[in-house]
Chains A and B, each alone.
Chain A
Amino acid sequence: MSWKPVLESAGLDSWIVRLFEDIDEHNLPWLSALSRRCEQAFGDALIDLVPSYTTLLVVFDPLMISPSQARTMICRILADLEPEDSADAGAIHELRTWYDTSVGPELSRVAEHAGMAVSDVIDAHSQQVYRVFALGFAPGFAFMGLTDPRLECARLDTPRRRVPPGSVALAGRQTAAYPKETPGGWNLLGRTSAKLFDREREGFSLLRVGDQVRFVPVSREEFEREGGDTTPMEPLV
């Protein structure tokens, strides 16, 4: 890899550490190693760590350390950073998903765009293990990828005002599942019964950056039995 990390100020209490230029799952072992080293080095002075695709935002308590002290600490870590062992790769999740045009109305759009049958789109989407690159947009919303290049598909021109929770979606070469009802412009392929953001769970979010995710196709009956909501999407106006 071309190793030329850059630190950019993000305010009095934070630095952006830019490790890479491009989105790549090989970035993840480096980002998680950097996170772990920052946790150790900053200790109680650490407020937040936000990994995302190519960067890590390090937020610290400015009453305890100054930006220049933090910069020195981060540079020291970068000097001998080693990527985390791939054996330590994040947890593996299976998101059981009902692929159907009633809850995934863009299945046909993606199929048409790719010149594939709908069933082949489902196969291509579900036969791959994705990595979580970032969480954002909404609590527990995980950006995953990269998908089979044939499935690449732009966002909708006009976002939906309401996308139901559990909706499994695609945009560009990334995929995601909506943790709760929000507006959204991604192409919907189906719906998962998995609880992506659950108050009963430690930390609430099912998925973390670096985790591995596979979508497992299930029948409507299985989906319903597992608590899935089969209410069809309203057509786009």
Chain B
Amino acid sequence: MKQQTNPEPCISVLRAGPLALLQDSGRFGVRHLGVTQGGPADQYSWAWANHLTGNPWGTANLEITFGGLQLVAGRDLEIAITGADLGATMDQKPVPLWQRISWKAGETLAFAAPVSGLRAYLAVCGGFVAEPVLGSVACVTREELGGFGGMGTKLAAGDQLSVYSSGLPVGEGLIQAPREAILDFSQPAVLDLLPGAQIAHFTGRSLFDAFNTWWQVDDRADRMGVRLTGPRLNCKISTLVSEGINLGGVQVPPDGQPIVLLNDRQTIGGYPRLGSLSPLSASRLAQCLPRERVKLAAKGSDAALEQYRSFRALFHTASR
């Protein structure tokens, strides 16, 4: 809990790298205003970073894409890094991921480049201090909403970050993720797709191709969506009247190459969709680098719901 604030900045940004963003669970209840959801592209790793630092669900932590970020601590902090292996070091010594570690005043935490996966999450015991905008600190650069300062700016060299005092006594709670919880991003991903939307309008051949192809992640991939390249998928309808589109939606524009919609997608869209990735598969896809291969696997909503609920249940007990 955030009983007391710590207004003194305690982390300095030496180098920002290409993209480091503050993310809480996302911006909700405002999508009818054209405001997107935001939040962590890999919710799974983001949640584990909070969990290992004793932060409740929803606490804002840093999403670091590609690496390149260098930070120096102004006081002793407890942190956890999860998600991608971006070659993180503490004063040039490799740091362990998926566990709570100490970051002493004066030490430099540096992220290099992707070893496996694309996005790392850095959580600090207590959580980062930022003022919510439309109910959330989730940083969406395109919308100029959220983040430190509220205007949707990514981290920049020279930024000074503040952290709430932790309510967590050192050593309390789970400090290391069990081995089976740690994802191996070096293996090709098989993504669960819940069929839906306009799937009935795709040709039989295209449906066969959709689920029997190793799709390649394209360069055109960001927090709005990830384009996959492979065989051309044909739908009997080419465009729809624009409608609300959800996280993980797999839309197919007239060029037949699917785009999986992620957190910063527009709120409405008009391309036919095969269905939606499960939330955990959308998280997994967000860790894929361009040119990696992924496969789509049809999954029933009951099984996907059970899987998602057991994931969320992990964070209910220990997050109080």
Interface residues of A (CB under 8 A from B): 8-14, 16, 18, 22-23, 47-57, 59, 62-63, 66-68, 134-143, 180, 199, 203-205, 208-209
B305 close to A (CB within 8 Å): yes
For B32, the chain A residues whose CB sits under 8 A away are 48-51, 135, 208-209
Nearest residue, chain A, Cβ from B273: A10
| Chain B residues, Cβ within 8 Å of A48 | 28-32
A8-B197, A9-B196 known; A139-B35 Cβ under 8 A: yes
The chain B residue with its CB closest to the CB of A22 is B241
Q: A141-B34, A208-B33 are in contact. Are A9 and B275 (CB under 8 A)?
A: yes
Cβ contacts A to B, 16 pairs, < 8 Å: A10-B197, A11-B249, A11-B276, A16-B197, A16-B244, A48-B31, A49-B31, A50-B243, A52-B242, A57-B244, A59-B244, A135-B34, A139-B145, A203-B30, A203-B33, A205-B34
Judged by a CB distance under 8 angstroms, whether B263 is at the interface is no
Of all chain B residues, which has the CB nearest A46?
Answer: B29
| Chain A positions within 8 Å of B304 at CB level | 12
The B15-40 residues at the A interface (CB cut-off 8 A) are 28-36
The CA of A188 and the CA of B309, in the complex, are separated in Å by 48
**Nearest chain A residue, comparing its CB with the CB of B197:** A8
Known: A57-B244, A67-B305, A139-B33. 17 other contacts (CB 8 A): A8-B197, A10-B249, A11-B249, A11-B279, A12-B194, A22-B241, A47-B29, A52-B268, A57-B245, A62-B308, A68-B301, A134-B268, A136-B269, A140-B34, A142-B34, A205-B34, A205-B35
A12's contact among B244, B266, B278, by CB below 8 Å, is which? B278
Q: Number of residue pairs across A and B with beta carbons under 8 Å?
A: 141
The residue that A66 contacts in the complex, of B133, B134, B305, with Cβ under 8 A, is B305
Tell me the bound Cα distance from A64 to B266 in angstroms. 26
Closest CB in chain A relative to B280 CB, distance in Å = 10
Q: How far is the CA of A141 from the CA of B266 in the complex (A)?
A: 11
- Give bound CA distance, A35 to B74, whole Å: 49
Q: Is the CB of A11 within 8 A of B242?
A: no
Partner of B308, one of A12, A51, A143, A208: A12
Q: How far is the CA of A8 from the CA of B309 in the complex (A)?
A: 22
| B contact residues around A8 at 8 Å (CB) | 196-198
CB-CB nearest in chain A for B196: A9
Report how far A140 CA is from B143 CA in the complex, Å. 10
Judge if B61 is at the interface, Cβ distance under 8 Å: no
- Is B219 an interface residue when CB atoms closer than 8 A count as contact? no
Residue picked from A11, A49, A56, A66, most chain B C-beta under 10 Å: A11
Chain A residue contacts of B309, Cβ below 8 A: 62-63
Total B residues in contact with A, Cβ cutoff 8 Å: 45
- Please, what's the 1-or-0 string for B266-292, where 1 marks a CB less than 8 Å from any CB in chain A? 111100000111110000000000000
Q: Does any Cβ of A come within 8 Å of B8's Cβ?
A: no
Contact between B267 and A50 (Cβ–Cβ < 8 Å)? yes
A10 touching B305 by the CB < 8 A rule?
no
Verify A23–B266 contact, CB threshold 8 A. Answer: no
Minimum Cβ distance to chain B for residue A19 (Å): 11
**Residue numbers in A under 8 Å from B266 (CB-CB):** 136-138
Kindly list chain A residues whose C-beta atoms are within 8 Å of the C-beta of B134.
203-204
B144 lies within 8 A of A180 (CB): yes
The 3 A-B residue pairs with the shortest CB-CB distance, nearest first, are A57-B244, A9-B196, A50-B244
Residue of A nearest to B247 (CB): A11
- Most-contacted residue by chain B among A52, A62, A141, A142 (CB, 10 A): A52
